Amino acid sequence: MIRAFIVDDEPLARDELMYLLRRTKRVDIVGEAESYEEALDGIQETTPDVIFLDIQLSDATGIEIAERLKEDGCQSAIVFATAYDEYALKAFELNATDYILKPYEEARIQQTVEKLAQRLAVPASQPAAASGSSVSAASKTLERTERLAVTVDERIAVLHVDRIIFIESEEGKAVVVTEGQRYKVSEALTVLERKLNHPSMLRVHRSYLVNVDYVREIEPWFHSTYVMKMKDGASIPVSRTYVKDLKQKLGL
C-alpha cells in the first residue's frame, strides 16, 4: 500500500481526495493537516510515501511546505493537488511527482496512483504493511490502549479510553469528551488517533473520532453520509469516506 498524507485547508476537498484515493485500494491515508505547522509535524511523525499538497493554504502555500521539506531532507514524493495551474512549473522545479487539478476526476487520481506505484515499486496486491515492518505492526495491534495520557494546560490527564465518548478537532487542537467532562488538549486529533489502539474507537470524519459503544442511533443524511446520535446527546457527522469502516465496525 502507498502511505499518503494530505495537506489542504478545505475540509470537503480533503474528504473528496481521501475518498478517491481509498477507492483505488492501493492507498492508505496515514494523516491529514490543514496548516503549515500541523503539516510539518504530521509528516515528520508519519513519514508517508507521498504527500498531497494544496497550493493555497490559510497560513502558507504548498510550495513553501515543499521547500521546507526539501531542506529537511524529506524523501516523500510530492503531488500538488490544487485549483491553480500557474504553479506547475515551480512544482516540477521541486521534483514533484505529479500535479492534479481540482475538481478531482477519479480517472486522473487513478493515473497519479499508478505513477506513484511505479515510482515506489508497489505491487497492486501488496498488503497494508510492508514486510520489513510486519513484526512491529503486529506488536502494535496486540497493544490495546486502555488509558490515554493528554496534556491539558500545564498538567497531564490520564483518561480511561472506555469512558471517552468522542474526540473532536477544534481550531487545530483536540477536544476529548468523556462522561461529564471536556478536555481541550494541546495535541492535534491526528496525534491522538495514532496513540489510540482500541476496538471501540473509530474515525468517522476528518474532525471526529468516536467510541462506538456510545452510539445511540445512526440517521441517513445527504450524499451517502450519516449522522450519529450519541448517548450524551451529541450529533456526530459521518463522512462518506468513513461509512464503509463504520458499517464494518457495527456489522451492518
**Domain finish residue from 134, 153, 171:** 134
Residues 212 and 92 in one domain: no
Total domains in the chain come to: 2
- The mean pLDDT value for 30-53 works out to 93
Residue 53 lies in a domain: yes
Tell me which residue range forms the domain holding 210: 144-250
Q: What residue spans of 121-218 are helical by DSSP H?
A: 134-142, 189-195
Peptide bond into 237 cis (omega under 30): no
pLDDT of residue 167: 94
pLDDT in tens, 166-194: 999 888 788 999 988 999 988 888 888 88
- The mean pLDDT value for 2-25 works out to 91
- The mean pLDDT value for 153-177 works out to 88
- The mean pLDDT value for 150-177 works out to 87
For residue 165, give the nearest of 247, 244, 229, 246 by alpha carbon: 229
Give the whole-angstrom CA distance, residue 1 versus residue 29.
Answer: 10
Residues 159 and 113 in one domain: no
pLDDT exceeds 70 at position 62: yes
- The mean pLDDT value for 150-174 works out to 87
Residues 105 and 197 in one domain: no
Q: For the chain, give the percent of residues with pLDDT over 90.
A: 36
Give the whole-angstrom CA distance, residue 183 versus residue 157.
Answer: 9
CATH of the domain at 217: 2.40.50.1020
Residues 67 and 10 in one domain: yes
Query: What's the pTM value of the predicted model, to 2 decimals?
Result: 0.54
